[in-house]
Amino acid sequence: MSSRLQAEHLYKVFGRRPEKAVERLHKGGDREELRADGTTAAVIDASFTVEPGQTFVVMGLSGSGKSTLLRMLNGLLEPTAGQVLFDGQDLTALSDRELREVRSKKISMVFQHFALFPHRSVLENAAYGLEVQGVPRAEREMRAADALAMCGLGGWEKSWPDELSGGMQQRVGLARALATDADLLLMDESFSALDPLIRRDMQDQLIELQKKLKKTIVFITHDLNEAMRLGDRIAVMRDGRIVQIGTAEDILVRPANDYVASFTKDVDRSRVLTAEAVMDTNLRGDEADCGCETARPDSSFVDLCAISARVPHSVAVLDKKQKLVGVVPRQRLIGFLGDEQGEPRPCDAPRDKVVKVVKTGA
Ligand SMILES: Nc1ncnc2c1ncn2[C@@H]1O[C@H](COP(=O)(O)OP(=O)(O)OP(=O)(O)O)[C@@H](O)[C@H]1O
């Protein structure tokens, strides 16, 4: 059973008199103001909940506070203010011993640079977390071998890390995290050092594993495309603050401000949007009465385009109970793809006639 993670008004300030700095931040002060005094507000008032089995992605540019936030979630850094609740337990109130216990049994980290021991075999590396827990050799080797197989590394147990490619080494890192049966996986830029194709493979692997294992995952990245592929929910950080939390669709279709919107420019919208985000919910009520093919709210954008090409009118969207919940006119599909949700401008020419050829260029 996976666990629930909750961050409540977390602050981390580095430098002199951090508590005083939190007070100033409370009163609306910002990072720049504090920096002038030689104080860094790394994380400012971060609150969120990660439900059991969810992948929560924290996305932001370098220096936005992602790693500091993550280190507070596993108790490696003590918050200047605020609380971290894990399985209902306040991590900030635990003794060092209790915290070490929680960290070794319930929380696993996967780092960007695989952090493998060069003089241990792949199997010994995957079993490392269990060794720290004091699990007997035979059991830990069995569990590590299972985790390696889950990560596609069956047969590589006796190899050495330097015999493996970067992608395979990261699979060992993932296997090590999975072998311990920890409910909470904290992944810090775990795929950022990999080539684009291998990175995509690892994302696919994580998505597949997560369908089965349903861990509670916090994944840090600076890449919005990666965030959107992996995240059930995404928090966007800027200058220490979370500026938006939402699904990939929320971020894409309803960015909280221009800063978030500026990230979405490079996102392949057709991979993120579903019928639910695109559909018009202003209904007559009889749009699905004709017996033509329909879509579901979770139909992908690409599927929706294909259906739209096959039916002569708007696509009706029906929920699981076959209730009509929206319609998608073709115009709307094209508009969403081009991030243009206004109405077409009027044209004086007779329908379907090209009146004159407009020359462009010099
Ligand atoms: N131990 C520390 N002492 C002082 N300042 C720190 C410390 N750790 C982090 N910072 C500062 O806090 C801010 C947030 O850093 P953090 O590493 O959390 O950001 P990040 O988003 O993870 O960046 P990156 O992607 O580059 O790792 C930065 O300005 C950084 O310089």
Q: Whose CA is nearest to atom 11 of ligand 1?
A: 42
Kindly list the distances between the CA atom of residue 162 and the CA atoms of 12, 88, 118, 152, 342, in Å, as whole numbers in the listed order.
37, 41, 7, 17, 55
Lowest-pLDDT range, 21-30, 193-202, 340-349?
Answer: 340-349
* Predicted local distance difference test score (pLDDT) of residue 317: 95
Q: Is the CB of 64 under 6 A from ligand 1?
A: yes
User: What is the set of domains in the chain, with CATH numbers?
Assistant: 5-9+48-269 (3.40.50.300), 271-337 (3.10.580.10)
Note the pLDDT tens digit of each residue in 284-331.
Answer: 888 888 889 999 999 999 999 999 999 999 999 999 999 999 999 998
pTM comes to 0.84
Quick one: which of 87, 60, 75 has its CA closest to 242? 60
Q: Is the CB of 214 under 6 A from ligand 1?
A: no
Ligand 1 centroid – CA 14 distance (Å): 9
**140 Cβ contact list (under 8 Å, min separation 6):** 127, 130, 131, 179
Total residues found in the chain within this entry? 362
Chain-centre distance for alpha carbon 205 = 14
Q: Report the chain's mean pLDDT, rounded to a whole number.
A: 88
CA distance 333 to 306: 11
Given ligand 1 and candidates 11, 59, 67, which is best to mutate, with the most ligand atoms within 8 Å of its CB? 67
User: Residue 233 in contact with residue 56, Cβ under 8 Å?
Assistant: yes
Find the angle CA(121)-CA(124)-CA(130) to the nearest 5 degrees: 165
Q: Is the CB of 244 under 6 A from ligand 1?
A: no
Kindly list the distances between the CA atom of residue 62 and the CA atoms of 72, 166, 239, in Å, as whole numbers in the listed order.
18, 23, 9
ipTM of the complex as predicted: 0.96
* Predicted local distance difference test score (pLDDT) of residue 266: 81
Ligand 1 centroid – CA 77 distance (Å): 12
pLDDT of 82 higher than 60: yes
pLDDT of 1 higher than 60: no
pLDDT of 155 higher than 80: yes
Q: Is the CB of 18 under 6 A from ligand 1?
A: no
CA distance 103 to 84: 13
Ligand 1 centroid – CA 261 distance (Å): 24
CA distance 60 to 70: 13
Q: Whose CA is nearest to atom 30 of ligand 1?
A: 63
